[in-house]
C-alpha cells in the first residue's frame, strides 16, 4: 500500500502474546461506575453554571407568573431595576441558594439518567453504540426529566416560595421547610407536582431530542465527529426554545399552585387553576405570561447547560484516559491503545488474549506503523509482515 506495511487480518497464537496483568486495566464494572460518576459531576456543574447565569431573569419571570400584573419587557425591566434600587444587586439572586440546592441534584440526576436511558433503549431497540432513532431519543429525554423531577420536587417548591416572598418571611431554606410543614402541612411540599410531571415530559423530551438531533445532523453533513462549543451553545439554545415553549402553560400553573399559600389564592387542581387564570387574565396574557422573557432566559440556560455537560464529559474522559495510560508499562500501554482501536475488552487482554484474538480477526485489524517499534507491536499482536 506504499506505507511499508502489509495489510490483512492478524493471526497470533497464545505463545506470541505477553499477558497483561489485570491490575493495570480497569474491569467493566469499574468503568461503568466511573461513567456514572462522570455524568453526575458534569450534570451538577452544568446545572449550577446555567441557572446562576440567568437567576435574575428567572426570579423576575416567577414574580410575574404568580401575580395578576400584565407582563411586558418594559415592566420586567422596571421590576428588575426597582428591586436593585430597593434591595441591592444581590437581591436579584435571592432564592438562588435554594435553586442551587435543587438544580445541582436535579441536573446531575437528569443528565446521568439520560445517559443510562440512552444505553438501555439502545440495547432494547438494537442501536447499541449508535445514535437512537427519533422516538427512543424523545423517550430517553422524557424519562430523564421525569426521574429528576420526581426525586427533587420539594426543593423546587421551596425555591419558588423564596423567590416571591420578602427575605423577612423566610430566613433560609431550612426555615421554609419548617414553616410550610408546620403551617400548611407536608402535603403542601408536593403541591403542583402533577402539572410539573405533565410539563416535564414534553419539555425534557423535546429539549434532549432537539439537541441530540442537531448534533447528529451536524455530524452527518459536516463530517466532524463533534461540534464546536459555539455550535453546541446554538444547538442547546434551539432545544431550550422548543422545549420551554411547548410546556410553558403548565409551568405557569405549577408556579401558581406552589405559591398559592403566600399569595392569597386557593388552587385545588390543574384544570381549575387554568380556568381561573383564563377567566381573570385571558388565555394568552395569563397562561403565556412571561414567555417572551423565557425566550431570552431559556435558550441561554439550556445552551450553557448542554455545552457545559458535553465539555466536562470530554475533559473527564481525557483525564482518565491519560491517567490509565500513564499507569501502564510502555508496551502494555501500546497494546491497550491498539486494543481500544479495534474494540477489544480489557479482560480479554488480561486472560492471555484469546478474546482479543477473536476480536482482531473479526474486525480485520490493520497494524499501523508504530513509534514504539515493530518489536513492541509484535509483542502485542504476534507476527506481522513488512512489505
Q: Give pLDDT tens digits along the chain (387 positions).
A: 444 444 444 454 444 544 544 445 557 778 888 889 999 999 999 999 999 888 888 777 777 766 767 666 677 777 777 877 777 777 777 767 777 888 999 999 999 999 999 999 988 877 766 778 899 999 999 999 999 999 988 888 887 777 777 777 777 788 888 888 888 888 888 888 888 898 899 999 999 999 999 999 999 999 888 899 999 999 999 999 999 888 888 888 888 887 776 666 777 788 888 888 898 888 888 888 878 777 888 899 999 999 999 999 999 988 887 776 666 555 454 455 445 544 444 444 444 444 444 444 434 444 444 444 444 444 444 433 333
**DSSP state at residue 71:** P
Task: Give CA angle at 124 (123, 125), nearest 5°.
Answer: 95
CA atoms within 13 A on the CB side of 126: 0
Task: Give CA angle at 194 (66, 307), nearest 5°.
Answer: 75
Residue 5 phi/psi, 5-degree rounding, is -130, 135
The residue ranges of every structural domain in the chain are: 14-25+330-381, 28-322
Q: How many CB atoms lie within 10 A of CB 16?
A: 16
Distances from the Cα of 220 to the Cα of 131, 217, 226, 253, 296, angstroms: 11, 5, 11, 40, 29
In angstroms, the CA 3 to CA 305 distance is 45
Alpha carbon 58 to chain centroid, angstroms: 20
**Architecture label for domain 28-322:** Alpha/alpha barrel (1.50)
**DSSP state at residue 14:** G
Amino acid at each position: 500500500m506504499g506505507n511499508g506495511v502489509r495489510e490483512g487480518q492478524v493471526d497470533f497464537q497464545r505463545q506470541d502474546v505477553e499477558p497483561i496483568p489485570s491490575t493495570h486495566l480497569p474491569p467493566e464494572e469499574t468503568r461503568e461506575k466511573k461513567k456514572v460518576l462522570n455524568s453526575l459531576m458534569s450534570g451538577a456543574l452544568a446545572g449550577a453554571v446555567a441557572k446562576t447565569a440567568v437567576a435574575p431573569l428567572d426570579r423576575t419571570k416567577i414574580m410575574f407568573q404568580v401575580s395578576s400584573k400584565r407582563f411586558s419587557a418594559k415592566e420586567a425591566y422596571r421590576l428588575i431595576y426597582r428591586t436593585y434600587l430597593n434591595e441591592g444587586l444581590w437581591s436579584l439572586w435571592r432564592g438562588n441558594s435554594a435553586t442551587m440546592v435543587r438544580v445541582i441534584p436535579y441536573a446531575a440526576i437528569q443528565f446521568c439518567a439520560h445517559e443510562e436511558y440512552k444505553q438501555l433503549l439502545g440495547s432494547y431497540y438494537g442501536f447499541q453504540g449508535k445514535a437512537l432513532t427519533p422516538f427512543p431519543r424523545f423517550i430517553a429525554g422524557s424519562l430523564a426529566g421525569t426521574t429528576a423531577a420526581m426525586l427533587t420536587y420539594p426543593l423546587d417548591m421551596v425555591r419558588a416560595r423564596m423567590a416571591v416572598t420578602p427575605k423577612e418571611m423566610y430566613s433560609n431554606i431550612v426555615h421554609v421547610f419548617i414553616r410550610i410543614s408546620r403551617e400548611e402541612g407536608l402535603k403542601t411540599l408536593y403541591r403542583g407536582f402533577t402539572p410539573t410531571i405533565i410539563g416535564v415530559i414534553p419539555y425534557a423530551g423535546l429539549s434532549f431530542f432537539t439537541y441530540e438531533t442537531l448534533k447528529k445532523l451536524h455530524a452527518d453533513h459536516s463530517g466532524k465527529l463533534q461540534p464546536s462549543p459555539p455550535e453546541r451553545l446554538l444547538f442547546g439554545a434551539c432545544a431550550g426554545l422548543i422545549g420551554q415553549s411547548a410546556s410553558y402553560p403548565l409551568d405557569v400553573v405549577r408556579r401558581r399552585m406552589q405559591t398559592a399559600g403566600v399569595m392569597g389564592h386557593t388552587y385545588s387542581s390543574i384544570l381549575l387553576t387554568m380556568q381561573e387564570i383564563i377567566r381573570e387574565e385571558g388565555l394568552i396574557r395569563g397562561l403565556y405570561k412571561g414567555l417572551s422573557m423565557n425566550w431570552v432566559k431559556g435558550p441561554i440556560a439550556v445552551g450553557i447547560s448542554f455545552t457545559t455537560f458535553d465539555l466536562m464529559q470530554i475533559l473527564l474522559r481525557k483525564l482518565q484516559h491519560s491517567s490509565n495510560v500513564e499507569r501502564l508499562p510502555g508496551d502494555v500501554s501500546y497494546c491497550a491503545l491498539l486494543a481500544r482501536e479495534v474494540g477489544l475488552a480489557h479482560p480479554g487482554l488480561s486472560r492471555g488474549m484469546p478474546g482479543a484474538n477473536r476480536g482482531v480477526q473479526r474486525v480485520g485489524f490493520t497494524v499501523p506503523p508504530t513509534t514504539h517499534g515493530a518489536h513492541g507491536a509484535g509483542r502485542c499482536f504476534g507476527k506481522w509482515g513488512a512489505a
